Amino acid sequence: MIIDGKRLANNIMQDLKTQIEKEKAKPGLAFILIGEDPASETYVRMKKKACENHGFVSHIIKLTEKVSENDLLAKIEEVNKDSSIHGLLVQQPIPKHISTTKVMHAVAPSKDVDGFHPMNMGKLLLGEDDGFFPCTPFGITKLFDHEKIETASKHVVIIGRSNIVGKPLAALLMQKKSYGNATVTVVHRGTKNIKSICKTADILVAAIGKPHFVTKDFVKDGAVVIDVGINRVKSDGKVKVVGDVDFSSVEASVSKITPVPGGVGPMTIAMLLYNTYKSFKCS
Ligand code: NAD
């Protein structure tokens, strides 16, 4: 019943490692990390470790919180031109004095392994597979495939419309592809009757950033529940990571569910490496 994202992610990364061992050169991935945000530092550290363990060369470019927009854009351009680097990720959030849009546009589409550049988002929407899909939604489609969770003709409800999860996942799942053919509803802050809409979902995806938001009364009996949320909460004086789904409240009603941690999170990292290897092979 519990979908083991950690195991599938490890299998995918192990396969990549085996492929890379046969190559003469190594795929390179650069991270631009701005400021001292502890969560961003943790994410980048985890991604770097995954690179090191699976044959990728990684570089962390640390910039201060006060870096100017021009200096950041110049650094991105430098990495764009570096032929030893096949993927570039600018860790979000980006300081408020810098335009996130300008940064997303500045990363070369051919190195945009996060899949956030308008060129890659456009390709996703058009059903073209030769760009890069954003890692979290891409990882969710891989989980469906591995777990033999049929999406065709199913009603998928996604809670959250962010550019990095909700919107691209909706676009992927509605494509006329093996990973798509679903009927997709996206609910968000502007939606009325969220609970009753969620209750009609065959597959419910929570991507909101609110701890334990989804409870039993959101979930139809036998539904599949995908929990994207990563929320740090204090419990008994310790910081714990919990999802957007109240696992203990819904587990009796679901047919399958992703845990937090160990569900979608590891798949996001695996797909980042997958995209970087794809970029390396196309370079
Ligand atoms: P975001 O803040 O950009 O977007 C949140 C969305 O949720 C918004 O569209 C908003 O309308 C909606 N929302 C918020 N409160 C709501 C409410 N009360 N009712 C209805 N809709 C509501 O967030 P994001 O970047 O998409 O991330 C969402 C969560 O997923 C966060 O916890 C984040 O840490 C996590 N995340 C996890 C991974 C992973 O690899 N597992 C990757 C990306 C994000």
Residue in 214, 210, 250 with CA at minimum distance from that of residue 233: 210
d(CA 277, CA 25): 11
260: CA distance to ligand 1 center in Å? Answer: 14
From the candidates 75, 111, 114, 167, give the one annotated as an active-site residue: 114
Burial class (CB in 10 A: 0-12, 13-18, 19+), 15: middle
What integer is the mean pLDDT of 259-270?
Answer: 98
The minimum-distance atom of ligand 1 relative to the CA of 231 is 32
46: pLDDT confidence band, cut at 50, 70 and 90? very high
73: pLDDT confidence band, cut at 50, 70 and 90? very high
The minimum-distance atom of ligand 1 relative to the CA of 213 is 18
The per-residue pLDDT for 235 is 87
Residue 150, pLDDT above cutoff 90: yes
What integer is the mean pLDDT of 247-271?
Answer: 97
In this structure, the residue with its CA closest to atom 31 of ligand 1 is 209
In this structure, the residue with its CA closest to atom 15 of ligand 1 is 208
What integer is the mean pLDDT of 73-89?
Answer: 98
- Token pair in block for residue 158: 């996604």
239: CA distance to ligand 1 center in Å? Answer: 20
283: pLDDT confidence band, cut at 50, 70 and 90? very high
Burial class (CB in 10 A: 0-12, 13-18, 19+), 255: middle
Which of the 8 DSSP states describes residue 245?
B
* Cα Rg, the chain, nearest whole Å: 19
Q: Kindly report the average pLDDT of the chain as a whole number.
A: 97
Ligand 1 and 268: CB distance under 6 A: yes
Query: Phi, psi at residue 269, to the nearest 5°?
Result: -70, -40
Residues 199-212 have pLDDT tens digits of 999 999 999 999 99
To the query of whether residue 114 is one of the catalytic residues in this protein, the response is yes
Residues 169-197 have pLDDT tens digits of 999 999 999 999 999 999 999 999 999 99
In this structure, the residue with its CA closest to atom 26 of ligand 1 is 162
d(CA 121, CA 118): 5
To the query of whether residue 91 is one of the catalytic residues in this protein, the response is yes
The per-residue pLDDT for 243 is 98
The per-residue pLDDT for 149 is 98
What integer is the mean pLDDT of 78-100?
Answer: 97
Ligand 1 and 210: CB distance under 6 A: yes
Residues 223-253 have pLDDT tens digits of 999 999 999 999 899 999 999 999 999 999 9
Q: With contact defined as beta carbons under 8 Å apart, do 158 and 186 qualify?
A: yes
Say what the pTM is: 0.97
Q: Which helix (H) or strand (E) holds 256?
A: strand 256-257
Which DSSP string corresponds to 8-71? Answer: HHHHHHHHHHHHHHT-SS--EEEEEEES--HHHHHHHHHHHHHHHHTT-EEEEEEE-TT--HHH
